[in-house]
Amino acid sequence: MEEMKRTDSCTKEKALQKWLADAEESSSSASEYKIANQDTSRHDSDVALDISNAKDMLRRISSERSPSMSMSAHNTSKSSNTHFQYASTAYGVRLLSRDISNTKVELDVQNLMIVTKLNDISLYFLTRELVEWLLVHFPQVTVYVDKELEHNDKFAAQELAKDSKCRQSRIKYWTKEFIDENDVFFDLVITLGGDGTVLFVSSLFQRHVPPVMSFSLGSLGFLTNFKFEDFRTDLTKILNSKVKTNLRMRLECKVYRRHEPEVDPETGKKICVVEHIDTHHILNEVTIDRGPSPFISMLELYGDGNLMTVAQADGLIIATPTGSTAYSLSAGGSLIYPTVNAIAVTPICPHTLSFRPIILPDSMTLKVKVSLKARGTAWAGFDGKDRCELKQGDFITISASPYVFPTVESSPIEFINSISRTMNWNVREQQKSFTHILSQKNKEKYNTEKVRESKAKSEEEEIEERKLSSSAFDMSSLKEAVKEEAKEDEGDDEDETADRCLLKKTSGSK
């Protein structure tokens, strides 16, 4: 038992150390941007100090011995103090997370990347319009477009440079290889298309992602919240002032292949050999389904190494909050606000009706394994791409990715606006009015009354928080009132007794 406790303590310490390493890497990457807090009372130095204090506290807690290893009074007191500090630090981390989500970023854009959906002819000319405007109004910006547009007659790069009166060298071209070789190079990415174009950007940047601004030019628009008609106004505001970005969570998916067990010549035990074959950082979801197999899939779902359930279904969807409006929603999953850090597990046509979708914390590491008892293989897809077959014993580990996907925020309620626009979320038909059947005289009275009522409702009320004074609720006056009521009750009882005595005397004389 002591050995298990020590092992659990070491595991927690390793987890904390991993968190600290990820935080240091993220903070070093974020230092390339100028960050200014939305709340003017908090400065950049305060946020940096809070991060430093949180790191020091977690290091101190992780380095201390486990309280369960000693039962002395001194260690018990030390354990209580440590747990109090741990709880206080956890609350401080939540407050720090809120401050980070409210920060605004000042973008110093020099290298701007444009990703266009090239299966629509009109988008060639819309891209040309956007590039020309950027070259004219922002001479410090170098624009990178898709390599396929370099010799495209519709885009006509040479003619475009001539019309904008700039050097053609300011129009450059990006490729997947160029992005892989230059991890932190672009300052802003603009997408022209739909949600699929945004997912394509996520697949291009498998590590650090620059802020992404998406214009709606597709069929659906959960992620594309900017209108292309207003690109001049919106881009001028973003390139010249501070902007707020939503740090959307991604999932890190590692695929492992199981090989035939090997026998250890020294111990004679079978050793299961697994090989890490691929890694994906996804924005929407990873789907493990039965593919073309006629048999129902049998998938073992583990959480932090513990078996949670064995899913007998057409498959499983492991989605991010961003992906909660995609495949997961169609399979019956819940909507999740994009800035909530959580992992959604949604079954696809489960064999049991009791298998409902569940939302898990982002701190949990999931593992989906094809059972050795499964009658067929499974297939995995990552944001709808890179499908691979999983045989019996193969598995995928899923955890929160250290590389988030930042999107430029168009408005504070853009998510609610998007689901209302695309899904008619909670839209219902209003109660109909039958005033059209009124007579002319009653119509005039109705209209007069309606105008009067609308004016009364339109007056805004100011909310003021106030503590009630003692005069509003006086305990002494309440006691006096109770005493007076008790006296009145006693007087009523005496009168009732006297009446009874009088009644007895009268009846006796008769």
Average pLDDT in the 80-104 region?
A: 80
No. of helices (H) and no. of strands (E), the chain = 12, 23
CA atoms within 13 A on the CB side of 469: 2
> Quick one: average pLDDT of 302-324?
96
pLDDT of residue 176: 94
Residue 19 pLDDT greater than 90, yes or no: no
Q: Which of 195, 234, 289, 383 is catalytic?
A: 195
Per-residue DSSP letter, 459: S
Calpha distance 380→394 (Å, rounded):
11
Q: What is the mean pLDDT of the chain?
A: 82
267: left (phi over 0), alpha (psi -120 to 50) or beta: alpha
The one-letter code for the residue type at 447 is N
Q: What is the mean pLDDT of residues 120-141?
A: 92
Higher pLDDT, 286 or 434: 286
Cα separation, 292 vs 286, whole angstroms? 17
- Given pLDDT bands bounded at 50, 70 and 90, which one contains residue 33? very low
If you count them, how many residues does the chain have? 510
pLDDT at 48 over 80: no
The pLDDT score that the predictor gives to residue 494 is: 58
- Return the pLDDT at 36: 39
Q: Classify 260 as helix, strand or coil.
A: coil
- The helix (H) or strand (E) run that includes residue 9 is helix 2-30
Give dist(CA 322, CA 362) in Å, integer: 13
Q: And the tokens for 71?
A: 């039962």
Q: What integer pLDDT is reported at residue 469 of this predicted model?
A: 63
pLDDT digits (tens, 9 = 90+) for 424-447: 898 888 877 788 788 898 888 888
- Provide CATH 2.60.200.30 ranges for the chain: 251-403
Q: Looking at residue 21, what is its pLDDT?
A: 57
**Residue ranges of the chain that CATH labels 3.40.50.10330:** 105-240
DSSP string across 367-387: EEEE-TT-SS-EEEEETTEEE
Question: How far lies 408's CA from each of 43, 50, 228, in Å?
Answer: 22, 25, 15
Q: What is the pLDDT of residue 498?
A: 53
Digit-coded pLDDT (tens) for 453-501: 877 766 666 777 777 765 555 556 656 766 776 676 666 555 555 555 5
CA-based radius of gyration for the chain: 33
Greater pLDDT, 483 or 450: 450
pLDDT at residue 345, as a whole number? 97
Q: Work out whether strand 188-193 and strand 111-116 pair parallel, antiparallel, or are unpaired.
A: parallel
| Phi, psi of 265, deg, nearest 5 | -65, -25
Q: For residue range 271-285, what is the model confidence (pLDDT) as tens digits?
A: 888 999 999 999 999
Amino acid at 358: I
Query: Is 195 noted as a catalytic residue in this protein?
Result: yes
pLDDT at site 43: 46
Structure tokens at 446: 């109705």
| 410's tokens | 């168009």
pTM of the model: 0.75
At 175, the pLDDT band (50, 70, 90 cuts) reads very high
> Residue 203's pLDDT is what?
95
**Which 3-state string (H, E, C) describes 137-198?**
HCCCCEEEEEHHHCCCCCCCHHHHHHHCCCCHHHEEEECHHHHHHCCCCCCEEEEEECHHHH
Query: Does domain 251-403 sit in CATH 1.20.210.10?
Result: no
Residue 166, phi-psi category: left (phi > 0), alpha (psi -120 to 50), beta (remainder): beta
First and final CA of the chain: distance in angstroms?
96
Q: Is 434 helix (H, G, I), strand (E, B) or coil?
A: coil
Assess contact for 187 and 112: CB atoms under 8 A: yes
Would you place residue 3 in the very low, low, confident or very high pLDDT band (cuts 50, 70, 90)? very low
Query: How far apart are the C-alpha atoms of 287 and 378, rounded to whole Å?
Result: 10
The region, left, alpha or beta by phi > 0 then psi within -120 to 50, assigned to residue 305 is: left
Residues 6+ apart with CB under 8 A from 496: none
Are 158 and 168 in contact, with CB atoms under 8 Å apart? Answer: yes
CB–CB of 288/253 below 8 Å? no
| pLDDT tens string 57-72 | 666 655 654 444 444 5
CATH topology of domain 105-240: Rossmann fold (3.40.50)
Give 262 or 258, the one with higher predicted confidence: 258
Q: What is the pLDDT of residue 327?
A: 95
**Above pLDDT 90, what percent of the chain?**
48
Q: Cβ distance 325 to 419 under 8 Å?
A: yes
Least confident of 8-22, 143-157, 202-216, 233-247: 8-22
Query: What does each C-alpha distance from 222 to 118, 213, 328, 382 come to in angstroms?
Result: 20, 13, 14, 19
